[in-house]
Amino acid sequence: MLSAVPIDQISTDHEALHLEVNGVDTTEPDIISTIPQACPVSNRELLLKHVEIPADLIRMIDAAAKLDRRRRTEIERLQMELEARGGRPAKNYAAECAMKCSEPAFKAFMEARHALARPLTDDRVAARVRSVLAISSRTELNTSNEAAARWREMVKDFDAWRKR
């Protein structure tokens, strides 16, 4: 897993500026970037002002990976719970719902058609879907024919809305 490490220090010598982070060997920092003296001053200043951008991007990737793992875990849990109840639907609507709740287009649909308030987080979308479908848990989409029918209708409305 990637992990962002903040820039520990900026050092210089006769040849270049060096961006350093604390590495595995705690006695010596690791140089992660070198900006040569030949680099124009304006470019050097720009690079130094925005040195945290790569770390921010890595943190965003970390957060997305963590969210993806949580979703996969939830889907697996829902599937095991369903199997434990002795059945397997023709389609896993609970898993489909979990995936739809993370799609930006579905979030926009929920905001436009079902008065979902901002911010459009996955948890808020999931809560609003449960409210609109009159269910307490997404697992009901796999155990209740009525809830599954309401979900299929919502997906049909979403598909029509998206094509407009």
Q: What is the chain's pLDDT, residue by residue, as a tens digit (164 residues)?
A: 445 555 566 666 777 877 777 766 667 777 777 888 888 888 878 877 777 777 778 888 989 999 999 998 898 888 777 766 666 555 789 999 999 999 999 999 999 999 999 999 999 999 999 999 999 999 999 888 789 889 999 999 999 999 88
- Vertex 151: Cα angle to 102 and 70 (nearest 5): 30
pLDDT attached to residue 76: 80
The single-letter DSSP state of residue 144 is -
Model confidence, pTM: 0.47
Please give the Cα distance from 115 to 112 (Å, whole number).
Answer: 6
Residue 34, beta-bridge partner list: 18
Three-state DSSP state, 66? helix
pLDDT attached to residue 138: 94
3 in Cβ contact with 62 (< 8 Å): yes
Please give the Cα distance from 110 to 29 (Å, whole number).
Answer: 49
